[in-house]
Amino acid sequence: MAAEPSVMTPMNIPYLDLKAVMALHGDEIQRAVAEVVGGGWYLQGEAVQRFERHYADYIGTQCCVGVANGLDALTLTLRAYMELGKIGEDDEVIVPANTFIATVLAITENRLKPVFVDVDADTLDLDLEQLEQAVTSRTKALMLVHLYGRCTYNEAIKTLCDQHGILLIEDNAQAHGCTYLQPPTSTFSSAEPNLKSQISNLKPQTRTGSLGNAACHSFYPGKNLGALGDGGAVTTNDEELAEVIRSIANYGFAKKYVATYKGRNSRLDEVQAAVLDVKLNYLDEDNGRRQAIARTYYHNIKNEAIRLPRLMDKGDNVYHIFPIFTSQRDALKEALQKKGIGTLIHYPIPPHQQACYKEWNHLSLPVTERLAREELSLPLHPAMTDEQVAFVVEALNA
């Protein structure tokens, strides 16, 4: 007779199962793609226009410009502000040290100077004291990165930007569908947040992507709103900015063959727009599943060697990533892998320590550097089954 399989018999749980995620809305996506393929119009057509309108409505801005990817959304936004005379070469742009390198690449690509500010060890938001100290007369913009899918905006940041005339640019690549609530909460806590006080402070729904002067989105396939390839967008209420970005992204043309700017080619294509338009209808539902999985992780992972992010449970976190932190990160990663559980590290080398940024390698940004040593991202996507989630919990508790 075969032995009973042990509960911890390895299960194949990839970090991200894109095939399963796509299959959630597969029929509709296939139909949308087939329609574009059969329609014979692949760039700058109705599908892009429709998605831009729907996405602007969803985020709550007047304008949305589809571009080729998230890095371009960031790069073109800064470039457009330079064309409009709001930022000049060598001006400074404040950026959280704890971010994906694309946020910094957009700054240096435009020959602007990144000024790294560390994050607060408790909240993971920008350290306000350090932020204030980083502001100089050359500071022209602040990149606010809603990393991991959690809203990192707060009124103090907005006030600082208003006081110093600093443009607030959101990097919303990881936070589609996330909302801003007041007051901001601490990220780590042993105690449950006081539900009553949070609810009484709820503002009408304000989505990330509509909180600053402009916001940049990535539709990389693994994102909460992911395409079947690369894609990106800028949302803003600034029509002039939107037009400049649209023009630069299309060879700098004001109209066909008439170039106002030294532009480039960075356009969202019709197939991606059609896919995104379908998936946008399910974004809140998919984010709801992510939030349910995050709650299960949060309530059931009990291992003293692991620090969990504080539960953000009112829509102010769409859990693009569920990060846990431990000084034994590499050993844990390996142990989970042996049980068939895939994990990733976001991110093992902070931008200021990358070889391409030798000029910043000497900087000391201790919280970010510690996060890079201790962070481990658990599998979390809308197609995960309860059984898979339970298995991950059990493995971590073991």
Ligand X SMILES: Cc1ncc(COP(=O)(O)O)c(C=O)c1O
Interaction site with ligand X (CB under 6 A): 69-71, 99-100, 102-103, 145, 171, 173-174, 218, 220, 230, 232
Nearer CB in complex with ligand X: 72/339: 72
Least distance CB 218 / ligand X (angstroms): 3
Place of tokens 């809308």: 382
* Residues 214, 79: Cα–Cα separation, whole Å: 13
What is the nearest approach in angstroms of ligand X to the Cβ of residue 100? Answer: 4
71 vs 293, beta carbon nearer ligand X: 71
DSSP states of 277-301: HHHHTTHHHHHHHHHHHHHHHHHH-
| 287 contacts 306 by C-beta, under 8 angstroms | no
Q: Which is nearer to ligand X, 11 or 18 (CB)?
A: 18
Shortest Cβ distance from residue 230 to ligand X (Å)?
6
Q: For the chain, how long is the longest CA-to-CA vector?
A: 78
Q: How far is the CB of 83 from ligand X (least distance, A)?
A: 21
- Cβ–Cβ < 8 Å for 202, 314: yes
State the pairing for strand pair 139-145/92-96.
parallel
Specify burial of residue 142 (Cβ count, 10 A radius: 0-12, 13-18, 19+): buried
Q: Would you tell me how many other CB atoms lie within 10 Å of the CB of residue 45? A: 16
Write b or e for each residue in 289-307: b if 16 or more Cβ atoms lie within 10 A of its Cβ, otherwise e.
Answer: bbbebbebbbeebeeeebe
Q: Cβ closer to ligand X: 220 or 391?
A: 220
Q: What are phi and psi of 104, to 5 degrees?
A: -80, -40
Closer by beta carbon to ligand X, 66 or else 70: 70
For the bound state, the minimum distance from the C-beta of residue 104 to ligand X, rounded and expressed in Å, comes to 10
User: Which pair of structure tokens corresponds to residue 66?
Assistant: 């589809």
99 vs 123, which CB is nearer to ligand X? 99
Point out the residue whose Cβ comes nearest to ligand X. 70
Q: How many helices (H) and strands (E) does the chain have?
A: 14, 13
Q: How far is the CB of 217 from ligand X (least distance, A)?
A: 8
As to burial, measured by CB atoms within 10 angstroms (0-12 exposed, 13-18 middle, 19+ buried), residue 155 is: exposed
Q: Is the CB of 232 or the CB of 263 nearer to ligand X?
A: 232
- Integer Cα distance of 242 and 106 in angstroms: 17
- The residue (of 69 and 210) whose beta carbon lies closer to ligand X is 69
